[in-house]
Amino acid sequence: MIEFNSQNDFVLKEEIQVISWLERIAKVEGYEIDDLGYVFCSDEYLLEINKQYLDHDTYTDIVTFDYSQEGILSGELYISTDRVRDNASEFDVSFETELRRVMAHGLLHMCGYGDKTEEQISVMRSKEEDCLKMWEQAS
């Protein structure tokens, strides 16, 4: 089950399509989804989570709490819609495209992809692009 909640006034569009897309990403990566909760929030809300649970005093677009076990994905993903909006402007893409990239990014972390080294970042970016292409192909 995939659920979407907001701590701000954000409302996700195309929920059914997004669920199907996230399930396809997981399947391509060899995983099943058990229970995922995406929570959309403000920069300040996510900053507090980042400080409290990760001891990071920085703004970020997503924080992922991964409770997955043996090929079954389960977890909570918190996304700052403020940061997504700013990043979309910076990268000259639509808000929706950047939001999908961030949603996929969190799911890819849960599938075992990192982003600490240059090599990991390169792989992650390539996987994100593959995920965005999956969205386009299904639309």
Residue 137 has a pLDDT of: 87
Please report the domains of the chain, with CATH numbers, ordered by start residue. 2-138 (3.40.390.30)
Is residue 138 pLDDT above 80, yes or no? no
- Annotated binding-site residues for Zn(2+) read 105, 109, 115
Is residue 56 pLDDT above 90, yes or no? no
Average pLDDT rounded to a whole number, residues 133-138: 90
Please give the radius of gyration of the chain, using alpha carbons only, rounded to the nearest integer: 14
How many angstroms separate the CA atoms of 96 and 81, rounded?
A: 10
- Annotated binding-site residues read 105, 109, 115
